[in-house]
Amino acid sequence: MIGGEFCFKTRVYYQDTDCEGVVYYANYLTYFERARMEYLEHSGLDLLELKGKGILFAVAKAEISYKFPARLGDILDIYTKVEKVGASKIVFSYEVRRDKDNKLLALGSTVLVCISEDFRPIPLPEFVREKIVI
């Protein structure tokens, strides 16, 4: 991780695409989820351990801006970064690039809210804040 930015690599599989061999638009949210989980794990946060402590995260908002299609077989670099940390929320940004030529394919963001097991917002624990790089 350099300057708080983390790169997650993934291949575009057949199941990710539509009948034209282009990544189905909603699958970018799956890529964002995988990249975000890897980012958090890389930062030293174990999501199962957090869940055991009653600390959960829910996506409250997601945005995607499509620039160029990803296709079957492409290797994607998904750059993930924490943009902002609030009292109970974390804003992540994403940049999806094709590995072979660094072509920008999509930009996105998600807002995660820290919640309890009864789905109510709770303050982001200090130990979580300390592990997230901005």
- Phi/psi at 93 (5° precision): -115, 155
DSSP letter assigned to residue 15 = G
Q: For residues 114 and 101, give the distance between their C-alpha atoms in angstroms, rounded to a whole number.
A: 37
Q: Which of 16, 18, 46, 77 is catalytic?
A: 18
Q: Helices in 53-133 by DSSP H: which ranges?
A: 126-131
| Residue of 89, 69, 82 whose CA lies nearest to 39 | 82
Q: For residues 105 and 122, give the distance between their C-alpha atoms in angstroms, rounded to a whole number.
A: 35
Identify whether 101 is a catalytic site residue.
Answer: no
Tell me the sheet residues that pair with 92.
Answer: 82, 110
Catalytic residues, which ones?
18
